[in-house]
Amino acid sequence: MRLASRMSRLGTETAFETLAKARALEAEGRDIIHLEIGEPDFDTPENIREAAKKALDDGFTHYGPSPGLPEARARIAEFVGGRLGYDVPPERVVVTPGGKPIMFYTILALIEAGDEVIYPNPGFPIYESMINFVGGTPVPLQLNEETGFTANIDELRASVSDRTKLIIVNSPNNPCGSVIPHSDLEQIAEVAIENDLTVMSDEIYHDFYFEGEHTSITQVSGMPERTVILDGLSKSYAMTGWRLGYGVLPEPLVEPVSRLITNSVSCSAAFTQIAGIEALHGSQQPVIDMVAEFKARREVIVDGLNAIDGISCQRPKGAFYAFPNIRHTGMTSDDFANACLYEAGVALLAGTAFGEFGEGYARLSFANSTENLRRGLDRIAEMLANR
């Protein structure tokens, strides 16, 4: 079968491939510690599960409007507005099956052949994949370890050309766990406004802060009109499998993105949207408890990594990933990830799964028990010592 040539430009998310390899090893009887996948190892809180069951019984089992149920859009708008401190009109909210489709639809709706998109690198791999898929030109903006994995704003300014259409920001960042300082967000906003660019702000980790509080580029004056906020419930409420996310879009993007939803998935599942309202407006204690647990684990994993010869790791400010520098092991990122999986039985990701500037690093998700984190660290240390 001859596939369409565009398929050769579509990348992937290595986490899912590594998970499959790890599962294959487990099927052969190997014991694997999973530090590869980016999903909280907690159950969805009970009040949310109960709300979903009730919604099913109440008949929320049918098609709904493509941009989301009116009550879901209204309550999401209320939640986002409360979080960011400005009015969010419900008509700007679009509900999708997970946060990821917001990337897909935004890039599909905005970018044409030759358009340039500036995106963080290391960064979530689907940004680059989607930019390439639609024929755009990905322009990586390096996040530098020396500055706590933040971008150099002069470099950003120099990256802007006549063809630049979109800047993607992600704070807290996957995979680096870094946070964009508000002063940098102000400067990025200035660049966007000066050059009439759209921004996509991926805020899916907005609850996962170990230091300070979340700020959004949309809190800078003039930015809500030109920013797509990508967010969702997957991470904050341990709802990765529910597939529930949303975007807050500039007005001109609402209709095109809704049309893309009609053309692809029709709408998001109705009962999950009702459960999502409970998630956002019910008790937030489960989120607070989960983030506190991640903060404790951060100490275990960062201290543990820094105790291993050849590895050094900064303390992530947010998200739930450690992104250690592994250069002094003498291994490439890929070799390190393979040795961890096949020799040590620890599944983690090569930094290069997040772009070219991820070489020399690895990503370990600390969405696993403290005990398993310690076992994983011991295994990595032993594997390196035996080389």
Q: Which is nearer to ligand PLP, 60 or 127 (CB)?
A: 127
Please, is 295 exposed, middle or buried when counting C-beta atoms within 10 Å of its C-beta (0-12, 13-18, 19+)? middle
> What is the distance between the alpha carbons of residues 212 and 39, in angstroms, rounded to a whole number?
22
> What is the distance between the alpha carbons of residues 20 and 247, in angstroms, rounded to a whole number?
30
Q: Which is nearer to ligand PLP, 99 or 345 (CB)?
A: 99
> Which residue bears the tokens 């996040």?
143
In the complex, the smallest distance separating the C-beta of residue 275 from ligand PLP, rounded to whole angstroms, is 15
Cβ neighbours of residue 132 closer than 8 Å, sequence gap 6 or more: 9, 10, 11, 138
Could you tell me the sign of the dihedral formed by the alpha carbons of 315, 14, 240, 174, in that order?
positive
In the complex, the smallest distance separating the C-beta of residue 280 from ligand PLP, rounded to whole angstroms, is 14
Q: Which amino acid would we find at residue 156?
A: L
In the complex, the smallest distance separating the C-beta of residue 204 from ligand PLP, rounded to whole angstroms, is 4
Tell me the CA end-to-end span of the chain in Å, nearest whole number: 44
Q: Which is nearer to ligand PLP, 245 or 286 (CB)?
A: 245
In the complex, the smallest distance separating the C-beta of residue 88 from ligand PLP, rounded to whole angstroms, is 19
In which element (H, E) is residue 84 found? helix 70-84
Q: Which is nearer to ligand PLP, 84 or 331 (CB)?
A: 84
In the complex, the smallest distance separating the C-beta of residue 208 from ligand PLP, rounded to whole angstroms, is 10
Q: Which is nearer to ligand PLP, 39 or 115 (CB)?
A: 39
For 56, phi then psi, to 5°, come to: -60, -45
In the complex, the smallest distance separating the C-beta of residue 254 from ligand PLP, rounded to whole angstroms, is 20
> What is the distance between the alpha carbons of residues 338 and 17, in angstroms, rounded to a whole number?
12
In the complex, the smallest distance separating the C-beta of residue 43 from ligand PLP, rounded to whole angstroms, is 17
Q: Which is nearer to ligand PLP, 253 or 353 (CB)?
A: 353
Q: Which is nearer to ligand PLP, 131 or 383 (CB)?
A: 131
DSSP tally for the chain: helices H, then strands E = 12, 13
Q: Which residue is nearest to ligand PLP (CB)?
A: 98
Q: Which is nearer to ligand PLP, 169 or 331 (CB)?
A: 169
For 180, phi then psi, to 5°, come to: -85, 120
**Peptide bond between residue 250 and the one before it cis (omega within 30 degrees of 0):** no
Q: Which residues bind ligand PLP (CB under 6 A)?
A: 38, 98-100, 124, 170, 174, 202, 204, 232, 234, 240, 245
In the complex, the smallest distance separating the C-beta of residue 95 from ligand PLP, rounded to whole angstroms, is 12
- Tally the C-alpha atoms within 13 A of residue 227's C-alpha that lie toward its C-beta: 26
> What is the distance between the alpha carbons of residues 86 and 81, in angstroms, rounded to a whole number?
5
